[in-house]
Amino acid sequence: MDGWQRFLLIFAQTAFLAVGILISVKIGGGSNLHNLDIFLIGLLFIGALGWEAGMGRWLAEKLRSGHWVGWIVLAAILLPVAREALTIEPKKYPAAETTADAIEKIQQAVEENKDGEILFLDQRQLLTFGTVPKVRLIADYEKKWMMDEAMADNTAFFEPYVADLKARRFDVIISEPLWVKFQGEGLDFSEENDLFVKWVSIPTLCYYEPKETFLDQGVQILVPRGEVWSEEGVVCP
């Protein structure tokens, strides 16, 4: 490759790395590498270019000659996966019976209130794949979007949501299980948890109460409260 080609590769990879790190820190909490996927794919292409340019033949010769490079290649393959291979176990899924029960309860709640307004704060894939009867999607209030606005402490964004809750606009809310539990600092994603509790969980639970909660499936059905929730340490907006 000439100088310009090398420059473009380095420039592109540096940009992908910087953007991936920024997104991981801002949103992903830095717990894994999935926000660096474009950077990693770029490395794969660079490795393929090097392989075609002669690295493959060079490596094959070194391996056949018993050179120390072979041990480095073996270590490079085994070391990153050794710990995971020793602790790997099958994926655990919730029991089919309780999952079917959760879906049935959601379908029943939607069917009984289809003439009103139903908010899918979470689990919107049930609408996408036709698992529940079609209802009007309320696009403004979606869990990940609200999480982003909560992390920005965007008071203006949540004012309409709180007003809708006070007015009992929604006949049913489908959400992940909501709790009022502040974690403080120092735990994984504790800041995100505390902001979500402040801006979403507390306002929602002040005016809506859980009717059904399925912890294994990560879903909760909420209905309007008759009176505003009163709990020690909780101040309703």
Mean pLDDT in residue range 175-199: 89
pLDDT band at 195 (very low <50, low <70, confident <90, very high): very high
Instruction: Encode 179-215 in three state secondary structure.
Output: CCCCCCCCCCCHHHHHHHHHHHHHHHHHHEEEEEEEC
Which residue would you say has higher pLDDT here, 21 or 162? 162
Read out DSSP for 83-122? HHHHH--PPP---HHHHHHHHHHHHHHHHHTTTS-EEESS
pLDDT value of residue 62: 77
Percent of the chain at pLDDT > 90 equals 59
Residue 32, pLDDT > 80, answer no
Q: Which two tokens stand for residue 183?
A: 């974690």
The answer to whether the CB of 228 falls within 8 A of the CB of 207 is yes
Residue 31, pLDDT > 80, answer no
Percent of the chain at pLDDT > 70 equals 97
Query: Residue 174 is inside which H or E element, if any?
Result: strand 172-175
pLDDT band at 129 (very low <50, low <70, confident <90, very high): very high
pLDDT band at 28 (very low <50, low <70, confident <90, very high): low
pLDDT tens sequence across 60-118 = 887 778 778 778 888 888 888 888 888 888 888 999 999 999 999 999 999 999 889 99
Q: What is the pTM of this model?
A: 0.74
CA distance linking residue 172 with residue 11, whole number of Å: 50
| Ramachandran category for residue 54: left, alpha or beta (phi over 0 → left; psi -120 to 50 → alpha) | left
pLDDT value of residue 56: 83
The answer to whether the CB of 192 falls within 8 A of the CB of 30 is no
- 16-20, 202-206, 207-211: segment of lowest average pLDDT: 16-20
pLDDT value of residue 29: 59
